[in-house]
Amino acid sequence: MRKKIVAGNWKMNKTQEEALILASEVVNMVKDEVSTDVTVVIGSPYLYLSTLQKHVEPVSNMGVAAQNCHQKASGAYTGEISAPMLKSIGIGYVILGHSERRQYFGETNEQLAEKVNIALENGLTPIFCCGESLDQRNAAGYLELVASQLTESLFHLSAEEFGKVVIAYEPIWAIGTGVTASSAQAQEMHAFLRQHIAAKYGETVADDTSILYGGSCNEKNAPELFACADIDGGLIGGASLKSREFVNIAKSF
């Protein structure tokens, strides 16, 4: 049975004091209110990862995610953070391939394949993002375009390795815009991606793969989205910066 996951991506937000307050609020609410069969992940800026990891460790269904990592284990890459560094402080997850990384930093499917490899080598669970822009959405073949992101970045993995990856579908046209894909649109893409995975790795692996929705998901639309057969949770942006709303999303199952 695949995991239900709600992961927050704080992006470049929160001072240290604000981050600690937000994390403490989320931890306390999750302990008291969220079913243990729902995994809640906090994706914070690098600066706070070690501290937040200590906050969530006592809660069995919580984890901390880095928002990125470099594709090399070490070297002269000023300002970058490696997967072994994340492993050394106990981080369990890393968000890879977010549309903002692809758009602003030019990350390619080939580069992301390397990042996935090194994340898995260091025991990190990649939350691998895929999705299409508005222009791509309005053109023919948008389903195949998103599927190609999985093919080029993930399909070199063995079935066992692939089984350790979480997928996050994020329609770029719905990120931070207040526009959300309808539940039917989201379900269409999630079901298509699951079929794409099944064609490569078989039904069992596909059925066990958690596919999250990430695109202006909030406490109002989460129940309808999460009720869809192939949507297993969310990668939450803006709403993850508000403890009550974020936890309410986690309770939407």
Which residue among 55, 70, 98, 196 is the active-site one? 98
Residue with tokens 């992101």: 149
Tokens of 34: 């969220």
DSSP 48: G
- 25 given a catalytic annotation: no
Kind plus residue range of the DSSP H or E element containing 143: helix 142-154
Query: What does each C-alpha distance from 134 to 49, 129, 141, 171, 179 come to in angstroms?
Result: 33, 16, 13, 8, 11
Torsion sign across C-alpha atoms 226, 169, 240, 49 = positive
- 190 given a catalytic annotation: no
Residue 101 contacts by C-beta under 8 Å, 6 or more apart in sequence? 68, 107
Residue with tokens 């602003």: 104
Asked whether the beta carbons of 86 and 125 are under 8 A apart, the reply is: no
Which residue among 100, 107, 132, 170 is the active-site one? 170
Asked whether the beta carbons of 215 and 171 are under 8 A apart, the reply is: yes
Which active-site residues does the annotation give? 98, 170
